[in-house]
Chain A
Amino acid sequence: MEHAAIETSGLTRSFAGRPAVDQLTFEVAPGEVVALLGPNGAGKTTTIRLLNGILQPDSGTSRVLGLDPAADGDAVRRRTGVLTEAAGLDDRLTVLENVAIPARIRGMSRVDAERGALRMLERFAMAERAGQKAQGLSTGQRKRVSLARALLHEPDVLFLDEPTSGLDPEATRDVVGLIATLAREHGRTVLLCTHFLAEAGRLCQRMAVLQRGRLQAYGRPEDLAARLWRGLPVDLDLGGPADDRTLAVLREARGVISVEASLDGAVVRVEARAAVPSLVANLVSREVPVYGAAPRPPTVEEIYFALQEQEESVL
């Protein structure tokens, strides 16, 4: 059996008596992208710091690539790359130095570090600014330089803390595309902390939702959705809002759980995807025009907010 790239068991860390991460247990498979979601103060950044061994847990254990970050921090950090929320560039150094010097701290020779840094800067379209001080860079450019730095040593695991915060839409699209490529083509394991749920939905295979340091939910979005809601929503495009007769037909159809009118037609929740063809055939046989029927799994955003509501109702 393949070992998990990241695994934690009962991981706990408090600050001034308040738990920042509380009994956290989850695992990430090699090559998987997992989104760590939650409001501010939920414990996302603390989790990354614990997993990369810069914070020590109060209790519980974790392993990254089979190593214990609490005991073998440097060995873990040699194989991980971190993009911190603040890009963490030294404004007094040039763009090239900001990428090459950390590579030298990682043990690369000056020549290899500079050559590698230039290669990475080219990849992130920052090579022409290599000799410029970091001071004048925009937020998007800083993130790109920081990503170049995080990737130069070809880490097996990437910890990305809010990689798109402060970016304009174009830069966000670029960075999200880059992360997707890293995971898909290079098989890197990515733990992604983000507030941007659409970005998480596009990138992650599994999502973990943290609330006040505790893991509220963890799994594939479709599995979490199945736990929250029964059935699958299907958008029916009928060329306009469904009339009462059509809604009644839909309610009586086999495999239908619920029906709601929408601007284009109706949103029908069915037991399973297999119910959709007969539903459409039923409407067509009654001369109701059907322009489209699209099963629409709940988005990460819908799942996240449903979980939030669930949490609030418990409190």
Chain B
Amino acid sequence: MVIKQQAQAGTFESSDMLVLVEPVSEGTGRIIELHSPVMIQFGKSIKEEIINVLDEYEIKDVRLICNDKGALSATISARVETAIRRALMIQDGVLPSK
């Protein structure tokens, strides 16, 4: 699927992750920028969790800026999925857009 617009999900609060999704030109691939206080211990895991969601939605080209504050994997995948769905404009059960 192709990212159509910029979108974000999550917050800066402790145990959360703020995810910013940006569209990039076709063929750019997946650019993942991750900032996390637990980079050494969990950087690899977090990247894997992010990639799993990208795989699930078959996203080939995207830029993700992730600001982690010690989120657990359930939260990471939730925030990435929410941001991706918003960026794909396929959110369901939301207020109708203006």
A complexed with B: no
Q: Which residues of A contact B (CB under 8 A)?
A: none
